[in-house]
A = this chain, B = another copy of it.
């Protein structure tokens, strides 16, 4: 027995010791290589996929990309390295010295001493063609390959940064000093549960948030709907009014966007340049203005006075349609606008009764943004036991929601929360028209390619 134990330890020390063969230089990401402004001639190894290969008389130029940044690293080699395999799409490993680049548009290039093709790319069969700017619709057919294009890679890097930005808005690292109003003191729970479950947590932690997948069986082929989408949800205890919530919503939108703009400016620029020309100005306009607020009742008045011919006639007590939302945002000067206090009859049982009249409303809020429409929906929750009990009884839900009523029996607090569609948020800041292009693997009615 002891023998086996010794064997294990021997094995272990073997595996952690460097192997006998001489070790190659450490691998560097393309992003880190490009940042190495010193270019001291250090020997490095870079791995990635060939974005372009150009052979001149005596020199071979490769552009290698590994997804760590939009920019590729220029690899320069003696033309003796040239081979048919060093072509667009192939994966390679290049070793050599990082040197100052004489070319414009880059500080650094790799003077290659060794280039190895890791995996060939069958150019004829590869649906992504060299130097072609494929429409997003075309790329959508190839969910397993499309992130090899600049456009999708940029969008997905922005998605990643935005995820991180949402986390740091709600839960800044304990080492960072942040303004108090951004400070969620709270557990970040990743759950599929949604609002009612978050309310359970907010009954002990005061401020909670979650980001994760959400499912809707809506039979929609629209450019704004998915069967599986991601939602950022927050729930806050001891709020005093809808304004408290709206402040958090506006803060979330603006902080997250500022962080994305500062952490991946080139990826955002690519979208604003090639996918949605003119969107940069539209986004700046949203960021520099205070969001507006109108009541649902005012919204209906505005729509009734509009000269536009709506398919659905605007009327108090009826849901706002996409065309109405569009009109309202435009009417408000293409600034995001909060619409508050919706008819009680239109909204679910948990929204807080405003006890007003003659038009009976609840403390609900939707944030409408240019190009996308509804981005965030939220409300104060009905924290008063008897109000909630009556609403549940009227809907015949009392038994199923006994646990939810319980939350109002044992130390209830005024609270509210909201949910933001994460893909719609990305559409809004990048100007990407179709929601299917801001998620790696879109699933929607009759389509689950991957």
Residues of A within 8 A of B (CB): 1, 4-5, 7-9, 11-12, 15-16, 26-27, 29, 31-32, 47-50, 66-68, 89-91, 93, 118-122, 125-126, 143-145, 147-148, 153, 156-157, 159-160, 163-164, 167-168, 171, 173-174, 180, 185-193, 197, 200-201, 203-206, 211-213, 228, 230, 237-238, 243, 246, 263, 290, 292-294, 298, 301-302, 305, 331-333, 337, 383, 403-404, 406-414, 440-441, 450
Contact residue among B119, B122, B163, B406 (Cβ-Cβ distance under 8 Å from A188): B163
Given A145-B406, A211-B190, A290-B12, A200–B450 Cβ distance below 8 Å?
A: yes
Q: Is the CB of B144 within 8 A of A48?
A: no
Give chain B residues whose Cβ lies under 8 Å from the Cβ of A243. 15
Give CA–CA (A71, B8) in the complex, Å: 44
How near does chain B come to A16, taking the closest CB pair, in angstroms? 7
Q: Given A119-B412, A410-B145, check contact A212 B200 (CB 8 Å).
A: no
Q: 7 A–B contact pairs at CB < 8 A? A: A15-B243, A32-B185, A67-B187, A144-B404, A145-B406, A160-B171, A163-B189
* Contact with A213, one of B192, B403, B409 (Cβ below 8 angstroms): B192
The answer to whether B410 touches A121, judged by C-beta atoms less than 8 angstroms apart, is yes
Q: Smallest Cβ distance from A84 to chain B, in angstroms?
A: 14
Most chain B Cβ neighbours within 10 Å, of A164, A337, A404 = A164
Closest Cβ neighbor of A263 among chain B residues: B174
Whether B147 pairs with A204 at a CB distance below 8 angstroms is: yes
Q: Give A168's nearest chain B residue, CB to CB.
A: B173
When the two chains form the complex, which single residue of B147, B173, B189, B298 contacts A4, counting CB atoms closer than 8 Å? B298
Q: Is A47 within 8 A of B441, CB to CB?
A: no
Residue of B nearest to A92 (CB): B411
Known contacts A188-B160, A201-B147, A294-B8: A410-B305 contact under CB 8 Å = no
Report whether B120 and A411 are in contact in the complex, using a CB–CB cutoff of 8 Å: yes
- The answer, among B153, B186, B200, B213, for a CB contact under 8 Å with A204, is B153
B189 touching A160 by the CB < 8 A rule?
yes
- Bound-complex Cα distance A157 to B413 (A): 21
Q: Are A12 and B164 in contact (CB under 8 A)?
A: no
Bound-complex Cα distance A157 to B206 (A): 13
- Given A47-B206, A190-B230, A293-B12, A118 and B412 touching (CB < 8 A)? yes
A167 to B, closest residue via Cβ = B167
- Chain B residues whose CB sits within 8 angstroms of the CB of A5 once the complex forms: 331-333
Distance in angstroms between the alpha carbons of A237 and B147 in the assembled complex: 15
Q: Is the CB of B188 within 8 A of A212?
A: no
Counting chain B CB atoms within 10 Å of each CB, which of A27, A201, A230 scores highest? A201
> A143-B200, A160-B188, A212-B212 given as contacts; is B4 within 8 A of A305 (CB)?
yes
Q: How far is the CA of A293 from the CA of B246 in the complex (A)?
A: 54
